[in-house]
Amino acid sequence: MQHSADTTPIIPGFYPDPSICRVGDTYYLANSSFEFFPGVPVFASDDLVTWTQVGNAFDRESQLPASSGAPSSGIFAPTLRHHLGRFWLVTTIVGDAPPEQVILHSATAEGPWSDPVTTNGARGIDPDLAWDGDDCFLTWTTFDGPTPGIVQARIDPTTAELLEQPRPLWAGTGMAAPEGPHLYRRGDWWYLLLAEGGTERGHSVTVARSRRPDAGFEGNPANPILTRRSTTHPVQNTGHADLVENADGSWAVVFLGVRPRGTTPGFHVNGRETFIAGIEWVDDWPIVTPFPRAVPGFDTAFVDDFSAPQLAHRWIAPGATAARFATPGADGGLELRAGDDGAVRMLAVRARDEQWTAVVDLDTAAGTGRVIVRTDATHWCGIEVDDTEIRAVQVIGATRTVLARRDSTGSATRVVLSAVNGERAALLRLNGPDELELGIDGEVLARIDGRYFSTEVAGGFTGRVIAVEVESGLLGLRRVDYSPLG
């Protein structure tokens, strides 16, 4: 089935802050991952609308930042580039200390990627790399000084050493939160693309140009070149864009957006997703146009019995690599092992669809745990299982509510979680975007208004994940079957 690129993401689910580059006839795209690891998913495509994940740039212990896994901390917006036969990725790791920029490189997009090197003196977020001959420019968003803005310095990308003092480049058009800079050369002009207005409903894309990469930028009189603010368009919060030139000389732009549902203020639940549009050049300024091809739709369904030697790229964990607590089980599946340090042991996968169902087979003979729909640590709902009882639970802020209880019938439990727009959900749309159903073995134990597990309620920069968490002992994870509904 074909879908309009204007309303259908090319990468659905919590895949924000897209950055894109082209090598020959293949396009590569990277996204933010925040507190989840492996970090920075990397995708490949030969047509800009059908994408396959080929790896994660951060995928081993030596690359992990010193992060607590706090919600919406960790790895912020990356920039992915290819220069002289090598892929380069620069990003920000946000934790307790003032954030600096980190740089990785690889011979292939699939990896392995190098261990990151860290700048000293480039505090801020949203870095970009661009080359002009032998000069490599690091451009980023700073919060130092009286006003936020975009700064730049030449850098050695192999060591992350700044080769000069940072200089102001452009402060944007005057909207809130100028950030997400990307620098490009086209003909005799250098272009600086920004996100402005914040990553909520005022999100916008603006552009400036200069004859030099390091000074003299003037804004486009027609700014912003992309925004959905104050419209009824079904895709909102559009911004944080990145341009790419196609092999035939045409251009395209990828950007993030959300699909809010429900009544005012509208609730988006799957996070900020990746969309695409076309670009035309008029008087040497970029104009955003409808993308000329339809989006075939992303195949989100999967079944995983964890028999493969490595976890699929889709699986993530907050604040840690899954290898710290997930190992192959003696009788198949995975064993999730609880720790004694209080850290969360949770294996998760992003929700990708507006309506979906996930069937999770557990073995609780040697431990206890839960299967949940999670926005963050204080906004989740799901099924808890121990040796005596099964509970449908929701946590909203500081409030924990047990919605239903059943006696445990043994060590094997089939948990079914769904996000639906059913008859009851149609009534709830006066308030929320959908309805979450929590069930076991074909019995629905609870139905919940989905707005409580949206970004508008929980805050932050991520989206819903479906997660299996071990609380004590060993939890057996036998199979996960995820499929879209509707």
Active site residues: 17, 179
- Asked whether the beta carbons of 329 and 476 are under 8 A apart, the reply is yes
Find, among 294, 293, 292, 298, the residue nearest to 274 by Cα.
Answer: 298
For residue 116, cis peptide bond before it (omega within 30 degrees of 0): no
Find, among 24, 131, 3, 35, the residue nearest to 461 by Cα.
Answer: 35
Q: Which helix (H) or strand (E) holds 350?
A: strand 346-350
- The DSSP 8-state label assigned to residue 458 in this structure reads H
Backbone angles phi, psi at 455, to 5 degrees: -65, -35
Alpha carbon distance 217, 223 (integer Å)? 14
- Asked whether the beta carbons of 145 and 178 are under 8 A apart, the reply is no
Q: Which residues contact 106 (CB under 8 A, 6 or more apart)?
A: 57, 86, 87, 89, 112, 113, 114
Alpha carbon distance 308, 47 (integer Å)? 29
Q: Which helix (H) or strand (E) holds 29?
A: strand 26-30
Polymer length of the chain: 486
Maximum Cα–Cα distance across the chain: 72
